[in-house]
């Protein structure tokens, strides 16, 4: 509660408040004279102007968990405490000899913990722990050996004089200090060098084009040198682009390990940029060496105690069973097709180009294309139609979809009916049927064009016969003259 302090006090003037605490004015502020129990002095903030303030008793706040010791901008320099326990939110920190004792340490976050814990046989990583095995029995302790007698101490040598200290070198400039630490849940197959890799990460990071990025499929401090290449993904690349609003990033890969392996989680950061090296300070002059003390005599060695027996090993914990898969939902019914729109009017014909004409990129032609003169083609591929096996008595081959057909199976001889062949005079049309034969070979025994049976002249004069368990390629050449199919030529080649 507030206290009515004297106005305009003189140096040395004393005042006793309502709580019975005596205060003295030192010209800058009120300081306690007897007890050090402070509740409130004019305002929640007060000053004590003294090089050293000694408190003989406990220093307690007025309310539980309401007041701070220092602030982010006004910090205490050092805190010196004895080996007794420090309590932080109910968690204890104490010492045992030269060791700091803590029940457990969390090196990660609440979402991705990495916990080291005492009193158990398990290590908790990313929220999942293996079942702990039972502890082995303790071995018996060996008997203590007898202590040897102490040798006499040698006399101390005199200390040499101290040399003067050298001046300090200037500090190097700091490396990057902005935010780059990130993760990605994009499933990535580790690519080769020069591949442009795109993935999603966090938003509002500080990446810019040209920076070098390091990606690990596991935290770097979890690697083992002997199995690093086989077990973990490792990618280094230069930032090509980064969108801080969506978190989308693209890098150009310049180094990768475990190429071809797939990983679904990545840790991302800069490869780091070292600060400039500071200049070395000048060396101080060496002090003169003190004289060495005489060596004390050695004590006799004590006898060794007997070794204790080893405890038995604990049993391993059992693995948890996998959960059952959920059932798939049923497919929805297909919607009805809309009616076709009316055709637009045809455009006027364009003028034909004269002279040489070059085209970069792709050219798609629908309908008939006529080429006059010498035609040079590079990297030509043809469309192959994969049709069901030749299991029916008649198989229809539609020339409008291509001129090559492949059957993975055949279960009987069949009629090959070719439709939509061009009927323009003085034309030759070549077609190919590829048959993967089983133990019994089958071939087309009748050839038709638009349902009309044709007479086939076979290469070698004999009708086609297949070869069991091999691949037969059957070719037909259709020759169109005088508005009719004047010749149909057939040939068969076997590949084993």
Amino acid 361: pLDDT: 72
User: Which of 11-25, 107-121, 227-241, 256-270 shows the lowest per-residue confidence on average (mean pLDDT)?
Assistant: 107-121
Note whether 421 and 429 are within 8 A (CB).
yes
Query: Residue 54 — pLDDT band, cuts 50, 70, 90?
Result: low
Cβ-based neighbour number of residue 490 at 10 Å = 19
Q: Which tokens sit at 259?
A: 């190429």
Q: Give yes or no for residue 127 having a pLDDT over 50.
A: no
Tell me what pLDDT residue 175 has. Answer: 40
- Measure the CA–CA gap between 49 and 25, rounded to whole angstroms: 10
Average pLDDT score, the chain:
75
Reduced 3-state DSSP string for 388-404: CCECCCEEEEEHHHCCE
Query: Measuring CA to CA, how many Å separate 191 from each of 210, 216, 220, 251, 271?
Result: 19, 13, 20, 11, 19
The larger pLDDT score, comparing residue 364 to residue 280, is at 364
The pLDDT assigned to 202 comes to 93
Report residue 471's pLDDT band, with 50, 70 and 90 as the boundaries. Answer: very high
1: tokens are 């509660």
User: Higher model confidence: residue 301 or residue 14?
Assistant: 14
pLDDT at 3: 57
Best-predicted range by mean pLDDT among 206-210, 287-291, 298-302, 345-349? Answer: 206-210
Where is pLDDT greater, at 432 or 110? 432
For residues 49-64, average pLDDT:
65
264 or 175: which leads in pLDDT: 264
Q: Report whether 395 contacts 414 (CB < 8 A).
A: yes
Q: What are the structure tokens assigned to 356, written together? A: 């040489």
Distance CA 189, CA 258 (A): 9
pTM greater than 0.75: no
pLDDT score of 200: 95
Give the model's pLDDT for residue 20: 77
Q: CA–CA separation, 168 vs 166, rounded Å? A: 6
Lowest mean pLDDT among 46-50, 182-186, 464-468: 46-50
User: Which is more confident, 448 or 32?
Assistant: 448
Q: How far, in Å, CA of 439 to CA of 461, rounded? A: 26
The predicted structure's pLDDT at residue 355: 67
**pLDDT classification of 440: cutoffs 50, 70, 90:** very high
pLDDT (tens digit per residue) in 78-121: 888 886 778 887 788 888 877 888 877 777 776 777 777 755 54
Q: Which residue has the higher pLDDT, 448 or 223?
A: 448
Q: Provide the pLDDT for residue 119.
A: 56
421 — phi, psi (to 5°)? -75, 145
The kind and range of the H/E element at 101 are strand 99-102
Select the highest-mean-pLDDT range: 68-72, 146-150, 186-190, 267-271: 186-190
Contacts of 33 (CB under 8 A, 6+ apart): 14, 22, 23, 24
How far is it, in rounded angstroms, from Cα 85 to Cα 100? 10
At 247-274, the pLDDT tens digits run 999 999 998 888 999 999 998 988 754 4
Which is more confidently placed, 139 or 386? 386
- Domain extents in the chain: 1-58, 182-270, 384-495
Which pLDDT score, from 0 to 100, does residue 237 have?
A: 93
Instruction: Quote the pLDDT of residue 134.
Output: 57
DSSP code of residue 482 = T
pLDDT at residue 174 is higher than 80:
no
Can you give the pLDDT at residue 227? 39
pLDDT digits (tens, 9 = 90+) for 135-168: 556 666 666 666 666 666 666 666 666 666 556 5
Q: Is the pLDDT confidence value at 458 over 80?
A: yes
In this prediction, residues 16-43 reach a mean pLDDT of 66
Quote the pLDDT of residue 91.
84
Distance CA(149)–CA(152), nearest Å, equals 10
The pLDDT confidence band at residue 417, using thresholds 50, 70 and 90, is: very high
Which of 222-226, 348-352, 403-407 comes out lowest in average pLDDT?
222-226
């Amino acid at each position: 509660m507030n206290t009515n302090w004297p106005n305009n006090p003189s140096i040395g003037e004393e005042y006793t408040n309502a709580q019975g605490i005596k205060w003295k004015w030192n010209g800058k502020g009120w300081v306690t004279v007897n007890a050090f129990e402070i509740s409130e002095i004019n305002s929640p903030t007060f000053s004590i102007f003294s090089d050293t303030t000694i408190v003989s008793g406990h220093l307690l706040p007025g309310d539980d968990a309401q007041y701070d010791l220092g602030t982010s901008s006004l910090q205490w320099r050092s805190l010196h405490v004895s080996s007794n326990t420090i309590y932080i939110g109910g968690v204890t920190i104490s010492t045992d000899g030269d060791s700091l004792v803590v029940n457990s340490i969390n090196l990660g976050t609440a979402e991705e913990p990495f916990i080291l814990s005492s009193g158990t046989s398990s290590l908790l990583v990313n929220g999942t722990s293996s079942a702990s095995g039972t502890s082995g029995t303790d071995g018996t302790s060996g008997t203590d050996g007898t202590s040897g007698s102490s040798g006499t101490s040698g006399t101390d040598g005199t200390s040499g004089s101290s040399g003067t200290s050298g001046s300090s070198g200037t500090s190097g400039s700091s490396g990057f200090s902005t935010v780059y630490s990130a993760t990605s849940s994009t499933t990535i197959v580790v690519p080769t060098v020069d591949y442009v890799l795109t993935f999603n990460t966090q938003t509002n990071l500080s990446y810019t084009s040209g920076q070098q990025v390091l990606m690990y499929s596991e935290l770097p401090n979890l690697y083992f040198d002997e199995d690093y290449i086989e077990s973990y993904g490792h990618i280094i690349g230069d930032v090509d682009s980064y969108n801080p609003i969506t978190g989308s990033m693209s890098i150009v890969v310049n180094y990768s390990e475990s190429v071809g392996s797939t990983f679904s989680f990545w840790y991302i950061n800069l490869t780091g940029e070292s600060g400039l090296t500071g200049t070395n300070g000048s060396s101080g002059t060496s002090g003169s060496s003190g004289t060495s003390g005489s060596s004390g005599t050695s004590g006799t060695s004590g006898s060794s105690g007997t070794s204790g027996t080893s405890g038995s090993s604990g049993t391993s914990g059992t693995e948890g069973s996998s959960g059952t898969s959920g059932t798939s939902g049923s497919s929805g019914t297909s919607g009805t097709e809309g009616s076709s729109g009316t055709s637009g009017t045809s455009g006027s014909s364009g003028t034909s180009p004269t002279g040489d004409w070059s085209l970069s990129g792709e050219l798609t032609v629908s309908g008939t294309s006529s080429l006059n003169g010498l035609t040079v083609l590079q990297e030509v591929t043809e469309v192959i139609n994969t049709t069901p096996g030749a299991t029916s008595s008649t198989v229809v081959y539609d020339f409008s979809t291509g001129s090559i057909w492949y059957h993975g199976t055949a279960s009987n001889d069949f009629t090959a009916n070719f439709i939509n062949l061009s009927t323009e005079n003085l034309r030759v049309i070549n077609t190919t049927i590829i048959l993967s034969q089983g133990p019994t070979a089958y071939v087309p025994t009748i050839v038709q064009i638009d349902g009309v049976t044709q007479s086939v002249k076979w290469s070698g004069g004999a009708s086609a016969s297949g070869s069991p368990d091999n691949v037969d390629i059957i070719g037909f050449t259709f020759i169109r003259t005088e508005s009719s199919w004047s010749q149909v030529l057939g040939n068969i080649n076997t590949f084993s």
